[in-house]
Amino acid sequence: MTAIREVMTKQLVTVEPSTSVAAAVTVMGMRRVGAVLVMENGRLEGIFTERDLVRALSYDIGASSQPGCSMDDPKPRHGGPRSIC
């Protein structure tokens, strides 16, 4: 069985809470990842994912110009920290 460490991204891909959704998605595309860590002052504030993008656009087609922070998953879950900014 393949271990996570064999397929995971080792270099962190991050954005700031004030980063627009469009800019975050651009970073994700350029780095070929499905999520970015939302960091502020060296602290993990949330994780913005492709699913967050789809959800944001389903509510408001203009969401791509909004800060990405507001689209994060709202509650922490097991398997890694997830919080709203």
pLDDT tens digits for range 23-45: 999 999 999 999 999 999 999 99
Q: CB 85: neighbour CB atoms within 10 A?
A: 17
pLDDT greater at residue 78 or residue 13: 13
Task: Please give the order of strands across the beta sheet that includes 35-40.
Answer: 14-15, 35-40, 43-49
Look at the alpha carbons of 63, 69, 70, 73 in this order and tell me if their dihedral is positive or negative.
positive
71/51 Cα distance (integer angstroms): 10
pLDDT greater at residue 67 or residue 83: 67
Domains of the chain: 11-71 (3.10.580.10)
